[in-house]
Structure 1
Amino acid sequence: MLLSEATVKRNPLTIAKSVDLVIIGGGLSGTCTAITAARSGIKVVLVTDRPVLGGNASSEVRLWVLGATSHMGNNNRWAREGGIVDELLVENTYRNPEGNPLIFDTIILEKVVQEPNITLLLNTAVYDLEKSDGETISKVFAFCSQNSTSYELTAPLFCDASGDGIVGFLAGAAFRMGAESSAEFGEQFAPTKEYGELLGHSLYFYSKDTGKPVRFVPPAFAIDVTQKVPKFQRFNAHEQGCQLWWLEYGGRLDTVHETETIKWELWKVVYGIWNYIKNSGKFPESDTMTLEWVGAIPGKRESRRFEGDFILTQPDIVEQRPHYDDIAYGGWSIDLHPADGIFSEKPGCNQWHSKGIYGIPYRSYYSKNITNLFLAGRIISTSHVAFASSRVMATCALGGQAVGMAAALCIKNNWLPRDLSSPERIKGLQHELMKIGHHIPGLFLHDPADLAHQAAFSSSSTLVLNELTADTEPFLMEHSMGQMLPVKQGKMPVITMQVYAAKQTQLVVELRKCLKNGNYTPDHLLKTLTLPLRQGRNDIRLDFNVLIEDDTYAFIIFRKNEAVSFCYSNKRITGILSVFNLVNEAVSNFGQQQPPEDIGMESFEFWCPQRRPLGLNIAMEIEPGINCFDAENVKNGLQRPTIKPNAFVADFSDADPEIAITWSTGQKVKRIELSFDTDFDHPMESVLLTHPESVMPFCVRSFQILDNKGKIVYQEDDNYQTRRTIIFPAPVYTSRLRIKLTHPSENVPASMMEVRVYEN
């Protein structure tokens, strides 16, 4: 028994901790910041006021993680974010293709607690700080209600990834809240006050079928949605979770200090919705259904945005302006919501896409007036309009891992965040990020320490794509469709194929490319062929007789004709995609973007893949065959398709494909970095949506590494991740390495994106 004498006042247990970097906020951006910094060798405290990590992606809110891929609903091909965020999403897809948010919680927590350089403080809220001078934070104070403990956290560097920017606010960092005028940054899409200057919060719920009648008595605070919610007709018994993203409120309030008020209003709506579904008599299927879960905290979209040395704006996104210090990218639409949310007569969102991904500069990731404060997540330095795109979680996470790496470089060199922003130093940050699989548009990795650059590469075979075999029965065209093919500078290959017509008709075929090489919006028409078809089978020959000016992706577009059928191929190949002129209402894709003339957005068509098991390639023969899959690609510094596949791909007929790496003299090899194709075009939404497979079909599962004597020095039989780092217990001395691969399946040839070799 513990006895204590009475006293005037007691202080809670206080723990002081000093590290290299204190990160406030355990959402996906703060988590990726922490993991990246810790793996880069610095000591980190990650402090969050929630019981689990993930923020809006956690089981507390249950929003799917998305970024530039935009549900595969835009023209951003192979745009899923790389590095740590990719590692998390691939792991989640492997363990949790059903999208259970509780499982995703465990995956994020596991990744953090496995890092010895991270001290994790859950349920711990920062409430105050100290500054050593007007521009420098020296310490933050936090309190954990669960263990009644105070923490004093000291570091030379801090990162605010808290969503509302509590540390930036307390420190006096310059910030903005609400929308700028159209004139300030030349943003034609800037909203009016009538539309609203802030995005609100959303609250989700889940239901389940119990198999027996369940009645529902609403709480007294539930509202009558038929009287107060203009969109009540949209509610049904089946949509749930973040499919109800438009269940939003709070854009007219202070989204920091009135969050509890907003939450209560959303609770009133949620229970009113369920009362309507259960008791209106319009949804008999709900008789056996019950509420399984209702969010206790809302998912926030917007509050403060802090000013850095650069403010990202609408023209940066629409024009895809390059910046010398780009260290992340976005690709979600500019997605504004009416401030009145669920109570508005207006559509729940107003999304306009750019033609491709855009870069986000390093100068947006630190405070302009607090010298040791990094910014991560939705609070980075953007305008309100640009924020409408950069705010989504995968984009925030990508920026977070860039901040983690920047912090590590600053600690190692005794720099402050701004010191790293010079054109000379920023190259070092970009270099280190690309080494961990972090893609930066327009850049490629060349690491002088990589022994692969001194070696000759060869392979047992190389795919020459001269045919996408016809493996299906003919299917009627439901949409205009196209086949993306990587072509080299020179004459466009000739395509031959079989087309089936239900009657005499014509087929319009277009050859297109992108005005901006590296985009995947086929906005440049090169040639149109109009082919007469007779009823039945037609053998057609597409000789466009066009010279291709640069290595690029060509789009062979077949305009919709409901009398025409095509065969498809079961062969799936790294960097080869079919695309369709589809409608995806979830991201305001109606086949073609036609914005009003006065909002500064562009008109163009959407050409998007279908999700597997659909999305087969179109059967055709190609002459001459496409020859861009050789082994040298694995050292070209790119880890995903860009203007070409950037991959080694073996021939289908090669029973034992391998890559050989040969040096003229013996080498000491301690570490090998490998990158595989985990389909960066698949968005891997973390919750609610299910996925057709747990391992991407292009990913090599089994491989061996052999030395020059034929000894197996490493073997893997259950790979599913993008990146594999192999560290040998003792160095391997060899003049040759052979990487033997196993084809993922009979319809998918073995491929590899990258090989790097190091002596330490």
Structure 2
Amino acid sequence: MEAKELAEDTNIANSRNSERVIRKAHEGETARHIRKESYDVVVCGGGLAGFCAAVAAARHGARTCLVQDRPVFGGNSSSEVRVTPHGAAAFHVYAKETGIISELLIEERARNHEVIFENGWTNSVWDMAMYDLAVRTPNLTFHLNTSIVDVRKSAERRIEAVIGVVANAETSLELTGDIFIDCTGDGIVADLAGCEWHMGSEAREEYGEPHAPLRASGDVMGSSLLFKTVNTGAPAPFEAPEWAAQLDNPDYFYKEGRRPNDIRGGYWWIEIGMPWHTIRENEDIRHQLTRYVLGVWDWIKNKDPKTKELAANHAIDWIGQVPGKRESRRIQGLYLMTEHDPMNRTVFDDEIAYGGWFLDLHTPGGLLAPTSEHASAEGYDETSPYMVKSYCGPYGIPLRSSIARDVDNLMMAGRNVSVTHAALGTVRVMGTTAIVGQAVGTSAAIALKRGLAIKDVPDRAIREVQQTLLRDGCFLPNAANEDELDLARTARISASSEAACAGMGPQMDDKRRFPETEVLRERKGQWIAIAEESLARVSVCLSNLSDAPQTVEARILPVDHIWDYRTEELEPLAAAKLAIKPGATFEWVEWDVNLTKAGGLEPGKYVRLDLLANPNLQWHVASAAVPGHTCAYEMGQGKMRRDWNGPTRSFRIDPPQRSFGPGHAVNGVARPYRYTNLWRSDPAKALPQWLELAWEQPRTIGHVELTFPGHLLWEYHGYAPFYRDPQCPKDYRIEAWEGGGWTEIAAVRGNYQRHCRHRLEKPVTAAKLRVVIEATNGDPSAAIYEIRCYPPQAQ
């Protein structure tokens, strides 16, 4: 803040204090001060869903207020709870949620020194990344430490205002608005407004959901309390208080799916809900969870022979005192998602987001139940019947599930959307709720701009919502860029060079010679993008763990996209048995497939190279990821799942496939999906490299928008402290062809964000424009997923 601004704020504060003292002395003062504020959109709840909804609405011109009942944003992801955001990328390569949530997480990883792992922890750097964005967002006002306690309705079906109480401030807020968005998790606004909501589990017969219990009940998933330890470098004794939970039975941990497998802490399974009411008795749940955190640590430190020595020098550094809640009220919307929608990948006309987490239904009761979760009870076996049954996505999510049925100006995002208990198992994770939140905030702003009732948006404005989300960096499985204002779609596109995919070999060192994860205990597959009209030969790098000759069945199958996991329904384009010598290590086994377009090979699509199971053989992981070339393994019942061991298996192809041409940057999809969708320069040619747009007639350009590679392969906790993705361009410039030469119109140094929008200081009229990438954050190739150009008036 500038000194002048600070002085002005100080004068204002002093003036207010003086007025307040005079008023108190001469007029008396009520117990609570009431402030009245008016907005276009009021978002209640500042978790990831509410935060993204508020930022999106404000960015699209709506005067927006965000109300949060905690001192920090982020909800379960904040430093108060410290659950790392999960999403579709846990189960599907290149399925990472993008848009506002991606912008935040990339920023946090670039700034943060903290190692993040699956069970924790986010810290205050994450809080500040969100706070910083909130402060910098025009049209956005926010109130922290403010709980919504009442709703005022102007008519039976319309909210006029919400009433909030600011903690420790003796102040009430009366916030009027045109549209309200309930992101409170517990559905507080909807409940106060008289909406129908559901809580608990539907009976299986109600919707025919395989994951639903036989009988309906009020049971919900529980809340968790995380903790963190620190290595003190010396013995750190611990004595639990007498009121801590007494845990002495190894079976409670090792046979019931509660594995203390990381001395650093975390443990989502420190979870309790039933028999306590997840809303009204939240404080009782918090106390019980605290008892169990101390009891679990006492077991690890003092009783468990498997962990006592490992934990000897570790001490508790932090215990959360805000339970991370999974489930409570679910508000009835215009559409109720059941588990059939994610399992069958229902295609919705009003798709505004997607999910990809499995149907993760925790056992009601948590620590008080026989097991904490079905998957944990099966030892996290990724091929167990429950995991096979529960694997789903990526699937679309409709806007109608976020529009309240009973109130005309109420929307919702987060875990309180219109879904069944079974469907909530996948929809509830924070990566998913964040992109639903962005879509809801965007929809609210568009409804106001067009003068529409929010219930009419799915029918009358859904294309505008979808195209706006795509322009803002989001992804939708069933929509592509069709923006008529995007000038890049009408340009001829060329590049200084383009990469060709010839495959990738394994890392050859003794440390990786025979990892168990590479054994062909089940069928494994490798996606290959086809660009040419022929594929003469494929090769795979295998090792034979036995002293006898081995064979493996190989197949090449046509697939629709990188998440086409079918194994039984696809007719092979080619099949063979490959032989490998006894005791061979890292042997390249060649297969002359001689596929052509006439034989079913389709340029511009994927095929999948599958090797069937042979536990005597290993198929080695590639030494690096080939962009857009993912791999998977068969989990059962005729379907595959992503392979965590590496995004690419070792393979070679002849001829190399030119699958990274410049045209992909304007094909409407900004990540690998049905194809690579990426321009990538030849890695053998030094930077700088460029991508060029050319038009028959000059175009007036006011905006250039770029989507770069990076941050799509893994979940948030897969990235290191101070991480900047090597594939992402670091230094680049944008040039326009003016007066017979190239003129620089924008330049960036030190970039690490994947979605970059440039509003030109002065619009340029030119027949050619190019992006010149001078340096990346480590990758030898320049690369762009998408380029868009807009006239000045296209805000």
- TM above 0.5, yes or no, is yes
Q: Does structure 1 residue 67 correspond to structure 2 residue 87?
A: yes
Output one character per residue of 1:153-185: Cα deviation in whole Å (capped at 9) or x when no partner. 000110000000110000001111111111221
- Report 1:100-115 matches (<5 A): 100-115=122-137
Whether the 8 Å contact between 2:535 and 2:654 is mirrored in structure 1 is: no
Whether the 8 Å contact between 2:519 and 2:618 is mirrored in structure 1 is: no
Partner amino acid, structure 1, of 2:495: S
Instruction: State the Cα distance separating 1:194 from its structure 2 match.
Output: 9.9
Match of 1:531 in 2: 578
> Tell me, what secondary structure is at the counterpart of 2:301?
helix
- Report 1:658-677 matches (<5 A): 658-677=690-709
Instruction: State the Cα distance separating 1:553 from its structure 2 match.
Output: 2.4
Whether the 8 Å contact between 1:225 and 1:232 is mirrored in structure 2 is: no
Could you tell which deviates more after superposition, 444-453 or 133-142?
A: 444-453
Could you tell which deviates more after superposition, 16-25 or 532-541?
A: 532-541
Could you tell which deviates more after superposition, 516-525 or 119-128?
A: 516-525
Q: 1:175 to 1:637 in 2, by over 3 A?
A: same
Partner amino acid, structure 2, of 1:245: W
Distance 2:680 2:245 in 1: 59
Match of 1:479 in 2: 519
Output one character per residue of 1:463-495: Cα deviation in whole Å (capped at 9) or x when no partner. 222353676369447333443211259655521
Instruction: State the Cα distance separating 1:608 from its structure 2 match.
Output: 1.4
Match of 2:294 in 1: 271
Match of 2:7 in 1: none
Q: Does structure 1 residue 226 correspond to structure 2 residue 248?
A: yes
Q: 1:196 to 1:507 in 2, by over 3 A?
A: farther
Instruction: State the Cα distance separating 1:450 from its structure 2 match.
Output: 1.3
Q: 1:319 to 1:740 in 2, by over 3 A?
A: same
Could you tell which deviates more after superposition, 154-163 or 349-358?
A: 349-358
Q: 1:673 to 1:370 in 2, by over 3 A?
A: same
Distance 2:220 2:590 in 1: 55
Q: Does structure 1 residue 91 correspond to structure 2 residue 131?
A: no
- Report 1:451-466 matches (<5 A): 451-466=487-502
Whether the 8 Å contact between 1:356 and 1:521 is mirrored in structure 2 is: no
Match of 2:380 in 1: none
Match of 1:585 in 2: none
Q: 1:254 aligns with which of 242, 266, 277?
A: 277
Output one character per residue of 1:596-650: Cα deviation in whole Å (capped at 9) or x when no partner. xxxxxxx533341435xxx555142x22321232212111111111110111111
Q: Per chain length, whose mean CA-contact separation is higher, i.e. which structure has more relative contact order (CA < 8 Å, sep 6+)? A: 1
Q: 1:505 aligns with which of 549, 555, 568?
A: 549
- Report 1:128-527 matches (<5 A): 128-192=150-214, 197-226=219-248, 230-231=252-253, 234=258, 236=260, 238-242=262-266, 244-280=267-303, 282=305, 283-350=308-375, 351=387, 352-422=389-459, 424-468=460-504, 472=508, 475-476=513-514, 478-480=518-520, 481-487=524-530, 492-496=535-539, 499=542, 501=544, 503-513=547-557, 517=561, 519-523=563-567, 524=570, 526=572, 527=574
Output one character per residue of 1:494-542: Cα deviation in whole Å (capped at 9) or x when no partner. 2145655564522314335476545231423614321222345565224
Give TM-score scaled by structure 1 length: 0.90
Distance 2:588 2:626 in 1: 26
Output one character per residue of 1:628-677: Cα deviation in whole Å (capped at 9) or x when no partner. 32212111111111110111111123334211111223222221000001
Whether the 8 Å contact between 1:513 and 1:522 is mirrored in structure 2 is: no
Distance 1:691 1:301 in 2: 27
Q: 1:212 to 1:570 in 2, by over 3 A?
A: closer
Instruction: State the Cα distance separating 1:204 from its structure 2 match.
Output: 0.9
Instruction: State the Cα distance separating 1:353 from its structure 2 match.
Output: 3.4
Whether the 8 Å contact between 1:206 and 1:293 is mirrored in structure 2 is: yes
Whether the 8 Å contact between 1:509 and 1:528 is mirrored in structure 2 is: yes
Distance 2:259 2:659 in 1: 50
Distance 1:227 1:564 in 2: 40
Distance 2:645 2:217 in 1: 34
Q: 1:382 to 1:444 in 2, by over 3 A?
A: same
Could you tell which deviates more after superposition, 284-293 or 133-142?
A: 284-293
Q: 1:592 aligns with which of 614, 618, 635?
A: 635
Name stretches of at least 5 consecutive residues in structure 1 with no aligned partner. 582-590, 595-602
Q: 1:652 to 1:162 in 2, by over 3 A?
A: same
Name stretches of at least 5 consecutive residues in structure 2 with no aligned partner. 1-17, 117-121, 376-386
Instruction: State the Cα distance separating 1:247 from its structure 2 match.
Output: 1.2
Match of 1:122 in 2: 144
Partner amino acid, structure 2, of 1:448: E
> Tell me, what secondary structure is at the counterpart of 2:415?
helix
Whether the 8 Å contact between 1:472 and 1:569 is mirrored in structure 2 is: no
Partner amino acid, structure 1, of 2:755: R
Distance 2:390 2:536 in 1: 32
Distance 1:56 1:347 in 2: 19
Q: 1:604 aligns with which of 627, 639, 642?
A: 639
Partner amino acid, structure 2, of 1:632: G
Distance 2:514 2:576 in 1: 20
Give TM-score scaled by structure 2 length: 0.86
Q: 1:80 aligns with which of 65, 88, 96?
A: 96
Whether the 8 Å contact between 1:572 and 1:748 is mirrored in structure 2 is: no
Partner amino acid, structure 1, of 2:745: V
Q: Give the fraction of aligned pairs with identical amino acids, expressed as a percent.
A: 29
Q: How many residues align?
A: 729
Distance 2:299 2:223 in 1: 22
Partner amino acid, structure 2, of 1:575: G
Partner amino acid, structure 2, of 1:719: N
Instruction: State the Cα distance separating 1:188 from its structure 2 match.
Output: 2.0
Q: 1:522 to 1:90 in 2, by over 3 A?
A: farther
Distance 1:248 1:288 in 2: 26
